[in-house]
Amino acid sequence: MKTISNLSTIGDFIRWASTEFAKHKVFLGHGSDNYWDEAVFLVLGLLKQPWNSDKAIFHCHVTDEEKELLVTHIDLRIRKQIPVAYLLGEAWFCGLPFKVNTHTLIPRSPIGELIERGYEPWLAMEPDRILDLCTGSGCIGIATALAFPFSEVDISDISADALAVARDNVATYELEDRVTLFQSDVFDGIPAERQYDLIVSNPPYVDANDFDSMPAEYQHEPKLGLVSGPDGLDICRKILKEAASRLTENGLLIVEIGNSAETFEQLWPGSGVSWIEFEQGGHGVFALTKQDIMAGPWQ
Ligand SMILES: C[S@@+](CC[C@H](N)C(=O)[O-])C[C@H]1O[C@@H](n2cnc3c(N)ncnc32)[C@H](O)[C@@H]1O
Helix (H) or strand (E) holding 252: strand 247-256
Ligand 1 site, residue 236, Cβ cutoff 6 A: no
Q: What is the band of 1 on the pLDDT scale with cuts at 50, 70, 90? A: low
Please, which pLDDT band fits residue 6 given cuts at 50, 70 and 90? confident
CATH 3.40.50.150 residue window(s) in the chain: 103-295
Summarize pLDDT for 189-205 with one digit per residue, the tens.
999 999 999 999 999 99
Q: By alpha-carbon position, which residue is closest to atom 26 of ligand 1?
A: 225
Rounded to the nearest 10 degrees, how much is the dihedral formed by the CA atoms of 101, 106, 111, 114?
80
Neighbour-count burial of 283, counting CB atoms closer than 10 A to its CB (0-12 exposed, 13-18 middle, 19+ buried): middle
Pocket probe mutation, ligand 1, options 142, 144, 158, max atoms within 8 Å of Cβ: 158
Q: Is residue 163 within 6 Å of ligand 1 at its C-beta?
A: no
Distance 133 CA to ligand 1 centre (A): 7
Task: State whether the beta carbon of 225 lies less than 6 angstroms from ligand 1.
Answer: yes
CA max distance for the chain: 67
Distance between Cα 64 and ligand 1 center (Å) = 41
Residues 74-93, mean pLDDT to the nearest whole number: 98
pLDDT cut 70: percent of the chain above it:
99
In the reported structure, the alpha carbon of residue 222 is separated from the centroid of ligand 1 by a whole-number distance in angstroms of: 9
Q: Give yes or no for residue 235 CB within 6 A of ligand 1.
A: yes
221 Cβ closer than 6 Å to some ligand 1 atom: no
Cα separation of 15 and 55, whole Å?
13
Mean pLDDT computed over every residue of the chain: 95
Q: How far is CA 257 from the centre of its chain?
A: 13
Structure confidence at residue 5 (pLDDT): 75
What pLDDT is attached to residue 257?
97
Q: Tell me how far the alpha carbon of residue 204 lies from the centroid of ligand 1, in angstroms.
A: 6
What's the 244 CA to ligand 1 centre distance in angstroms?
A: 20
The protein residue whose alpha carbon is closest to atom 18 in ligand 1 is: 185
**What band does 120 get if pLDDT is binned at 50, 70 and 90?**
very high
> pLDDT band at residue 299, thresholds of 50, 70 and 90?
low
Class of domain 103-295: alpha beta
Euclidean distance between CA atoms 119 and 139, whole angstroms:
15
Centre of ligand 1 to C-alpha 136, Å, is 5
| 3-class secondary structure, 94 | coil
List Cβ<8 Å contacts ≥24 apart for 229-234.
231/207, 231/260, 231/263, 231/267, 232/204, 232/205, 232/206, 232/207, 232/208, 232/257, 232/259, 232/260, 232/263, 233/205, 233/257, 233/260, 233/263, 233/264, 233/267
Question: According to the model, what pLDDT value does residue 161 have?
Answer: 98
The reported pLDDT for the residue numbered 280 is: 92
Residue nearest to atom 2 of ligand 1 (CA): 225
Nearest CA to ligand 1 atom 13: 134
State pLDDT tens for residues 207-262. 888 888 899 999 999 999 999 999 999 999 999 999 999 999 999 999 999 999 99
- Our answer on whether the CB atom of 136 is closer than 6 Å to any ligand 1 atom is yes
**For residue 109, pLDDT beyond 60:** yes
The string of pLDDT tens digits covering residues 24-77 is: 999 999 989 999 999 999 999 999 999 999 999 999 999 999 999 999 999 999
Instruction: Give me the pLDDT at residue 2, please.
Output: 54
pLDDT band at 167 (very low <50, low <70, confident <90, very high): very high
